[in-house]
């Protein structure tokens, strides 16, 4: 019955087979004539495309290297291995080479000391700013504590981007590097602004604070290096992934296949 051309309904449970009387009806005869003249169906052949990966590996690798460099600068400044990578410098007007270097270690230990955690050493940030911070105006207090907060967040976000960069090599899911890199840069700039408030000079001396020609405090090479690395990371993050339009445009035909229904 399965090969019977006159069986019009069949499954595993039941089937329907037309009788001779039904086969002789004009309706069936016209239907059968049209069925025999039906056009031959051939499965359509469609091209198979190969799409380029949305990730640009070179730029993701550069972002990874830059984040590691930021972490390295913060670590070196904390360990005091390279005093030149200080965050800030207190200016010695008589001898520029005698400027007091203020690194990550000074900022961290000064902050801990302000919370009554005993720390040894000559902590410039504590004695110059945090010791009397409770008597200062609210905005000044916020600016002072924004410096250590921005450093902690900078390191944590940099570590986060490192893991995101490594994870991006295992799959093609888009990572939001531009947004994270922008947040990282803003947090670091927050620390720079806090240092400007600590500088305590009129706004006219802000240029001197940023360019290293100030007479009270200047921005150190450590912070300048961190900001520069973050700006580069932000630029590279804009090219880390191809747009969806670019992925579609870069598609290539690598073969064909039949589509069956």
Mean pLDDT is lowest, of 7-11, 161-165, 187-191, 231-235, for: 7-11
Q: Are 17 and 132 members of one domain?
A: no
Task: Look at 56-65, 128-137, 142-151 and tell me which has the smallest mean pLDDT.
Answer: 128-137
DSSP-assigned states of every residue in 93-161: SS-GGGPEEE-HHHHHHHHHHHTT----S--HHHHHTGGGGGGS-HHHHHHHHHHHHHHHHHHHHHHHH
Cβ proximity of 180 and 160 under 8 Å: yes
Count of the separate structural domains present in the chain: 2
Give the predicted TM-score (pTM) of the model: 0.77
Which of 31-40, 98-107, 137-146, 226-235 is least confident?
31-40
Q: Are 142 and 99 within one domain?
A: yes
Return the pLDDT at 204.
Answer: 61
What is the average pLDDT value for the chain, to the nearest integer? Answer: 86
pLDDT at 261 over 60: no
- Confidence band (pLDDT; 50, 70, 90) for 13? low
| Residue 261 falls inside a structural domain | no
Q: Does residue 252 fall inside a structural domain?
A: no
152/23 same-domain check: no
What does the pLDDT read at residue 181?
Answer: 96
Based on the fold, state whether residues 184 and 142 are members of the same structural domain: yes
Q: Label residue 24 by pLDDT band (50, 70, 90).
A: confident
Please tell me whether residues 33 and 61 are part of one structural domain.
no
pLDDT value at position 208? 85
- Interval 48-55 mean pLDDT: 89
Domain shared by 142 and 32, yes or no? no
Structure tokens given for 57 = 């590996």
pLDDT in tens, 155-209: 999 999 999 999 998 888 888 999 999 999 999 999 999 998 888 766 667 888 8
DSSP 21-50: HHHTSHHHHHHHHHHHTPPPP---EEEEEE
Using alpha carbons only, what angle is made at residue 194 by residues 145 and 214, rounded to the nearest 5 degrees?
A: 140
**Pair (73, 144) in one structural domain:** yes
Residue 134 is predicted with a pLDDT of: 83
User: Both 200 and 87 in a single domain?
Assistant: yes
Residue-range definition of the domain harbouring residue 142: 57-241
- Asked if 113 and 249 touch (Cβ cutoff 8 Å), the reply is no
| Any domain includes 85 | yes
Both 89 and 27 in one domain: the answer is no
Q: What is the pLDDT of residues 81-114, one digit of tens each?
A: 888 899 999 888 777 777 889 999 999 999 999 8
């Amino acid at each position: 019955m399965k090969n019977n051309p006159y069986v019009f309904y069949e499954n595993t449970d039941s089937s329907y087979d037309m009788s001779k009387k039904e086969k002789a009806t004009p309706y069936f005869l016209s239907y059968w004539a049209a069925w025999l003249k039906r056009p031959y169906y051939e499965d359509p052949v469609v091209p198979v495309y190969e799409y380029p990966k949305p990730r640009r590996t070179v730029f993701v690798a550069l972002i990874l290297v830059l984040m590691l460099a930021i972490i390295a600068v913060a670590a070196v400044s904390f360990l005091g291995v390279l005093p030149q990578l200080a965050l800030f410098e207190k200016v010695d007007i008589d001898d520029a080479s005698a400027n007091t270097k203020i690194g990550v270690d000074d900022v961290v230990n000064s902050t801990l000391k302000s919370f009554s955690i005993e720390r040894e050493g000559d902590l410039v940030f504590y004695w110059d700013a945090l010791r009397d911070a409770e008597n200062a105006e609210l905005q000044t207090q916020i600016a002072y504590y924004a410096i250590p907060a921005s450093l902690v967040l900078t390191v944590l976000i940099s570590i986060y981007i490192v893991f995101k960069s490594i994870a991006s090599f295992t799959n093609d899911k888009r990572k939001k590097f531009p947004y994270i890199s922008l947040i990282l840069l803003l947090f670091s700039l927050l620390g720079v602004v806090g240092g400007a408030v600590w500088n305590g000079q009129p706004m006219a001396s802000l240029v001197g604070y940023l360019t290293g020609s100030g007479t009270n405090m200047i921005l150190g090479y450590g912070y300048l290096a961190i900001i520069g690395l973050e700006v580069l990371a932000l630029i590279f993050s804009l090219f880390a992934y191809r747009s969806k339009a670019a992925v579609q445009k870069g598609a290539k035909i690598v073969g064909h296949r039949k589509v069956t229904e």
